[in-house]
Amino acid sequence: MRRTSILVALLSGLAGLALAGAAPARWEMTPVHGLMLGLALYAAALRGHIERAFSGAGPAGARSAWTGLAIRTAVFLALWWTQAVLCFDVIPGADVRRGFITLSAWVVAQALLGGGASQRQEIPRVRAG
């Protein structure tokens, strides 16, 4: 794991802790939940994109790479916050375990086994004529 990856993983953990602390008390978020959120952020949204974003990047490229990672982080956290509001405030009595199990297995499998944009292959194009 390179220094940039370690830095981003640590920042992800700190972001998760901060969000758990900022969440409404009725959600009963603990630091453990915050660390889980930070690890999910790193594994699902950032891990596969860090090295590629910074490979051969000069000062302008590094700035662009950080911007790209910040956008991925914002999208992930917006999705998380929306789901949290729905689960804790809009439908607090709903049993969402089945969906949680399926989606968490999906995210963990992608993080551990690969997949997504980094695994896509270009399909060769055949020229007509």
Non-local (6+) Cβ contacts of 78 within 8 A are none
Non-local (6+) Cβ contacts of 51 within 8 A are 2, 4, 5
Distance (Å, whole) CA 9 – CA 3: 10
Instruction: Please give the structure tokens belonging to residue 97.
Output: 């375990």
Distance from first CA to last CA of the chain, Å, rounded?
A: 48
User: Which residue type sits at 44?
Assistant: A
Mean pLDDT of each 10-residue bin along the chain, 129 residues long: 84 93 93 91 83 66 79 91 91 83 79 61 53
User: Which residue type sits at 105?
Assistant: A
Tell me, yes or no, if the pTM score tops 0.85.
no
